[in-house]
Structure 1
């Protein structure tokens, strides 16, 4: 049985990815930062082929412990899904140094060093999938620092795909648009005007579902995607076309 690590898998898009990969036959290591009950629920839904591991990717010691735990759980990590991330909606003049540092610690530094530390476990022909965002290809001053982190991950993906290509390891981004998750619930759910605005940002005129992003990740992690690397699979529903 193949093994996948999904970071930030307790809720939202990460939860959907973990469930989809389990459906596809993977044993799933479910990483979470704080909500142990949500992560354990994902493990319960998957069954015996899942384990929950707490680690805050913004804390280097946690990143190291997560990598060690993955190595304890498996000798081979077939798929790494770097999904964990935090977001904020602040323009340049409102962003704080503390907020900026936290964004880059989780979204970029944690992702970078976790990937480096588990890379010895990833076999030839393995898969790395990074969850970025549609904001990386548009001007989005409302969340400038967040957008910068996703741009950094895209550059990381491009370089790593080149480095690992000779081993047949593919490295790709999946870029969601506005998705119906708990993160967006505060400004979307129960607010028809906000929901209409969010939908209007997409050519399909609706917001996306976590399962729709999970489907794209599952493709990127599959044998069918063996000749796709160093690119972004846009899952924004035609965002800002």
Structure 2
């Protein structure tokens, strides 16, 4: 393993890779030498990321996939296994916040769609890639500190991330005999376009633009002790997790979220 290309000869799958954290993770892995399979719902964003990855002289397979659609998800995973043969790193990053209010005023279809994308999606991707995971592979589930507390709104998101914490633990136990490590990555607040939900017409969507918008503090709803991070910071942690030696930590949470003493 080369120090400057620690993932050379490896294949990584990153969901939700068209923008934000997923895009940064996919590019970091490609720079580290990995061939990368990427998916998200927006083909134009995927094509832009694919071009950047291939410019790094590694392979890239892409698929426009709604992870709440079982057939489309299974087709994408089958393509990955057919063309890439084996998967050494899987990053379940795709997620959604479609109903952020209180339960009493929630939209049942949007509430359940959040659960489908955030829980059923990672389950299906993992399930359909399971036979192709190499011995010693890494699974990284991007979760949230919101999965550790209930809050008084945005229940679907809190519940979905709590479920992902248990999914990580269950997978870590089941895949122990194959020496596959399964861990959570908790980013804390990250400068992505999701933070512009309160201003739908705001075109500031790059991480740098979002960081500039909230330069005086963290976005509303986050504790004052938190710090807004660039997606590349999350990608650095994901790369660290992806390059741990076989037999490393499993069933654990790696966090960039800050906690007061």
Is 1:163 aligned to residue 171 of structure 2?
no
Find the aligned partners of 1:120 and 1:192 in 2 and give their Cα distance. Answer: 44
1:39 corresponds to = 46
Q: How far 1:225 sits from its partner (Å)?
A: 7.3
CA contact (8 A) 2:217 2:224 kept: no
Cα distance per residue 1:195-230 (max 9 Å; x no partner): 445596253x52111111111111111134742100
The SS at the match of 2:184 is: strand
Residues 168-207 of structure 1 mapped to structure 2, 5 A cutoff:
168-187=179-198, 189=210, 195-198=217-220, 201=223, 203=225, 205-207=226-228
CA distance, structure 2, for counterparts of residue 156 and residue 240 of structure 1: 27
Say yes or no: does 1:11 pair with 2:10: no
Structure 2 alignment gaps of length 5 or more? 1-8, 200-209
Paired residues of 1:180 and 1:207 also in contact (CA < 8 A): yes
Match of 2:255 in 1: 234
More helix by share: 1
Contact 2:61 2:80 in 1 (8 A): no
Question: Which of structures 1 and 2 has the larger relative contact order (alpha carbons within 8 angstroms, sep 6+)?
Answer: 1
Deviation per CA, 1:117-137: give whole Å up to 9, x if none: 101000110011111112112
The runs of 5 or more residues in structure 1 that have no matched partner are none
- Within 5 A, what are the aligned runs for 1:41-190? 41-47=48-54, 48-88=58-98, 89-187=100-198, 189=210
Instruction: Give yes or no for contact 1:177–1:239 (8 Å, CA) kept in 2.
Output: no
Q: Normalising by structure 1, report the TM-score.
A: 0.91
Cα deviation, residue 9, structure 1: 0.3
Tell me, in whole angstroms, the C-alpha distance in 2 between the residues paired with 1:171 and 1:156. 10
How far apart, CA to CA, are the structure 2 residues paired with 1:8 and 1:14? 5
- In structure 1, distance between residues paired with 2:239 and 2:155: 29
Runs of 4+ in 1 over 6 A off after TM superposition: none
- Give the 3-state SS of the residue equivalent to 1:180 in structure 2: coil
Indicate the SS of the match to 1:229: coil
Number of aligned residues: 238
Give the 3-state SS of the residue equivalent to 2:134 in structure 1.
Answer: coil
